[in-house]
Structure 1
């Protein structure tokens, strides 16, 4: 059975940088099919290539800096990240692409998709989201759920 890893990355101590981690925590409380794993990846994205073993697809939840209003939600493919320098997943995207390459060297790697949110603040020590990101957080979760269900249909 094809498997999906949903990975929330970021630093939950730096305001909006934690949006992916907060989303993973919320989604972990829900019921998902046995071929879906939801995990918090923190900020150690280059060292997590071993986690990708056995997964066919990878959905990452993180912040994206693309110059739009805080709380803007994005859907990106792996190709988008590689080809578009103006859309960056905080500092985590370069490490994440490297981790995927390392997983490929070990044999198999999942195909990457991203659901991201434009942050307002990723420098203030604070547990919780800024007001604009908090206002859009439920929508962020809805988009993540939609993508999980769509990926499951594609893998069926």
Structure 2
């Protein structure tokens, strides 16, 4: 059976920057098949690429700077991110692509998708999401669930 890693990325101390980690915390309260692992990736750096080993699929939950309104939700493939150098997930996107490349060098590169949300504030100290992002948080969770189910259909 193929394995799926769902990783929430971000810093919960910087408002909307932590939306991916907040999402993982909620998803961890739910029942998932044994081949689905949910991990708090924090401020993900390339030195933890070994976490990706053994997974066939990777779903990353993070903020995305795509020029939309705060709370807008996006779904990207790895190809989308590599082809569009102007696309900025967050401070973590470069580390993420590097980590995938390093995982491939040691033998296993998962297929990646990203569910991202446009932030309003990601530099102010607060553990609370802004109202604009908070209003769309349940939709963000539903979008992540749908993406996990898509991976499960491929297993």
- Band the TM-score falls in, shorter-chain normalisation: over 0.9
Matched, 1:80 2:80: yes
Q: How large is the Cα RMSD of the aligned pairs?
A: 0.7
Which residue in the other structure is 2:62 paired with?
A: 62
Post-superposition offset of 1:29: 0.5
Q: Which deviates more, 28-37 or 38-47? A: 38-47
Determine helix, strand or coil for the equivalent of 1:153.
helix
Q: Distance in 1 between matches of 2:102 and 2:47?
A: 9
Distance 1:44 1:114 in 2: 14
TM-score, structure 2 as length reference = 0.98
Deviation (angstroms), 1:84? 1.1
Could you tell me the TM-score, scaled by structure 1's length? 0.97
Q: 2:70 and 2:12 mapped to 1: Cα distance?
A: 17
Instruction: Describe the superposition over 1:73-131 as per-residue Cα deviations: whole angstroms up to 9, x where unpaired.
Output: 00000000101123211110000000011111101110110000000000000001001
Cα separation, 2, equivalents of 1:119 and 1:4:
26
After superposition, where does 1:19-98 map in structure 2 within 5 Å? 19-98=19-98
Name the residue aligned to 1:143: 143
The count of residues paired between Structure 1 and Structure 2 equals 155
Per-residue deviation, 1:28 = 0.4
Q: Which segments of structure 1 move beyond 2 Å, counting only runs of 4 or more?
A: none
User: Equivalents in 1 of 2:65, 2:50: separation in Å?
Assistant: 27
Q: Say which SS state the counterpart of residue 67 (structure 1) adopts.
A: coil
Equivalence for 1:111: 111
